[in-house]
Structure 1
């Protein structure tokens, strides 16, 4: 344990301020490049590609074309932009390419290198440059102390490896194209359903916060685990409608499936949200929605498992579920990748609610996304 902890604390002590300044400057430089009219080629036409396209446009960029290895996509249009083949991309002069494919990002980066294309950004990795606002005004020594405490609380070596790898992915940073970081060495499958950590019984009541269209629910049902009730929360109306249809199409289910068209948070309130593909988040304007406090909304439920992937609202949702967690002591699977401080602050907060929890970190993609804190009694 000491080696990872000492390495992380030394990394923070040596790099904290310089890395945050360098990341801010690099993000500003790329944004300026976008605003100056630099054409952007976006590799990937799936959900991650659509998310990346939204971010490029949000930073003032103009998409020249989508690029995809799938020949079926060539010549089609998405969001008014044509998709071209990698061979057509070769015809562009020194193109700026943004990778938006997620799981296969490293393979695409290698393919672009073979094509001698050097101006490459992997959007999930570049997005890290926007995920540390809450660290700007804090004392680096205080952060190092919090990180050190988190290492001490983690239950196994794998968890400590994950925490160190994620911290190194942020604090070992050099600005420039083609410097994206991948996490294949700590990546593993079975997100949310780690058989060596989580168990389900015929009495299990699961709560899925950020259910999207039911992808986690479908994964759970496919595995054939026993359960009594599955409660899904989805904020966006569009996703909720698909989620309802998917629930209706489930046949032969041994447990009850329920869905609510609302998000979860610290208090019951009406909000607005930015409806972006699979990553909708609360905003000051946008589509109107409802947030509920789980302590109130699930007052009569004997909850045994809570999963959260709610675009950075996890801490607020946990605060709104403190009484529920203390009462039921459910297994938890909470995403901790929406800000850098989530990596250590969420495990520390879970420990403060129920000190008896054993805490694990697992990482489930080769890019920075999908790091999960598991807590079990």
Structure 2
């Protein structure tokens, strides 16, 4: 299958448009989202709820839940997710809060359902669109077809090609529901991940360091991680939280194409290089390159590089040419900050080291978290 055919055949796996023809439905929700069930029943009487699945249903919980609505009193069987086979002939509707918390819970539920053989679901949040929607780029494939096809041909497995085609379809339609969710965790592809004893460069930290703690546990006491966070306030908070991991060494600096200084704009939970130096809401930050840092700190080996640097991934890779050529480290690079990165980053890596094997995977119900994994 070529890429264009794959894009056109991509399925909408998570849709906000619940059809009136879905007469018999199974609603799926975490306990904290069960309040949405009553509004769903009230708003959509044409979609009769025949079963409710609650993954975190406590042992000894109720067997039925009752709701009063326009159609009278409804007694709906309530079961755990292990009984999903009872919904084999019902359309699946996930009840989810809007925004990032709802997206995270939905991703978890979708993975559980996929493990049971269920891929396509509908979503309901009480709003028209709860998350995973953005301005479409309908001409994206036509404008970049040759480069996109070249990357597609470089990908090593069917799962990566499906994720890549799904990403393009999502960009063209503005619907993140076309993106298939990986079975593995973000940054942890089965073949490309931080491992015990690795020396790792971690580009992009912020002050939310749960992932960094996991990286530290993965490399263990014999490994070392050098993290890079340009914003001084965020770096100070992150350093404090990482004190119990002596193998993690956080640098108050960003990664770029050259060492020196650059202005950064502070975002809600991260930062990015400022679009204009005239912007008053910026902070002057220190910058280094992968190559300069590796040379200065006499890194005899670099096993893994992860880059999630808010759109500066190409600059950071350009500043790491020598290190990548010398060590052929595992690469974990975010592709989602800029549409052109979907082809620019893989082609840059392939031209630099043609022996790299590449995979693509996506791990959220949002447009974020599409990642390129590469090893040589």
TM range (shorter): 0.5 to 0.7
Distance 1:119 1:194, change over 3 A: closer
Name the structure 2 match of 1:7.
5
Give 3-state SS (helix, strand or coil) of 1:125's partner: coil
Name the structure 2 match of 1:338.
337
Question: 1:356-375 alignment to 2 at 5 Å?
Answer: 356-375=355-374
Name the structure 2 match of 1:298.
294
Distance 1:322 1:223, change over 3 A: closer
Give 3-state SS (helix, strand or coil) of 2:133's partner: helix
Query: C-alpha separation between the residues in 2 aligned to 1:10 and 1:185?
Result: 15
Kept in 1, the 8 Å contact 2:176–2:366? The answer is: yes
Distance 1:121 1:375, change over 3 A: same
Distance 1:169 1:201, change over 3 A: same
Are residues 1:120 and 2:120 paired?
A: no
Query: C-alpha separation between the residues in 2 aligned to 1:196 and 1:150?
Result: 19
Match of 2:205 among 189, 211, 215: 211
Q: By how many angstroms is 1:271 displaced? A: 1.6
Query: C-alpha separation between the residues in 2 aligned to 1:372 and 1:319?
Result: 18
Of Structure 1 and Structure 2, which has the larger fraction of its residues in helix? 1
Are residues 1:236 and 2:231 paired?
A: yes
Q: By how many angstroms is 1:212 displaced? A: 2.0
Kept in 2, the 8 Å contact 1:264–1:294? The answer is: yes
Kept in 1, the 8 Å contact 2:155–2:360? The answer is: yes
Name the structure 2 match of 1:329.
328
Name the structure 1 match of 2:99.
99
Match of 1:265 among 249, 256, 270: 256
Query: C-alpha separation between the residues in 1 aligned to 2:194 and 2:283?
Result: 37
Query: C-alpha separation between the residues in 1 aligned to 2:366 and 2:271?
Result: 20
Kept in 2, the 8 Å contact 1:237–1:261? The answer is: yes
Distance 1:293 1:111, change over 3 A: same
Distance 1:324 1:198, change over 3 A: same
Kept in 2, the 8 Å contact 1:312–1:339? The answer is: yes
Query: C-alpha separation between the residues in 2 aligned to 1:120 and 1:278?
Result: 23
Rg comparison, structure with higher value:
2
Name the structure 1 match of 2:284.
288
Give 3-state SS (helix, strand or coil) of 2:261's partner: strand
Q: By how many angstroms is 1:249 displaced? A: 2.7
Kept in 1, the 8 Å contact 2:184–2:190? The answer is: no
Distance 1:372 1:227, change over 3 A: farther
Question: 1:1-377 alignment to 2 at 5 Å?
Answer: 3-7=1-5, 99-101=99-101, 102-104=103-105, 110-112=123-125, 117=126, 119-120=128-129, 122=131, 124-126=132-134, 143-173=144-174, 180-183=175-178, 185-198=180-193, 200-202=195-197, 204-213=198-207, 214-223=209-218, 225=220, 227-250=222-245, 256-283=247-274, 284=276, 285=279, 286-299=282-295, 300-301=298-299, 302-377=301-376
Query: C-alpha separation between the residues in 2 aligned to 1:342 and 1:241?
Result: 30
Q: By how many angstroms is 1:9 displaced? A: 7.2
Query: C-alpha separation between the residues in 2 aligned to 1:314 and 1:86?
Result: 40
Deviation by residue 1:136-182 (Cα, 9 ceiling, x = unmatched): 9x9x6561000110011111111101001111111135xxxxxx432
Q: By how many angstroms is 1:188 displaced? A: 3.0
Kept in 2, the 8 Å contact 1:8–1:168? The answer is: no
- How many residues align? The count is 279
Q: Point out where structure 1 has 5 or more consecutive residues left out of the alignment.
A: 12-68, 72-84, 91-96, 174-179
CA RMSD of superposed structures (Å): 3.4
Deviation by residue 1:185-221 (Cα, 9 ceiling, x = unmatched): 333332212233346343x210100022332221123
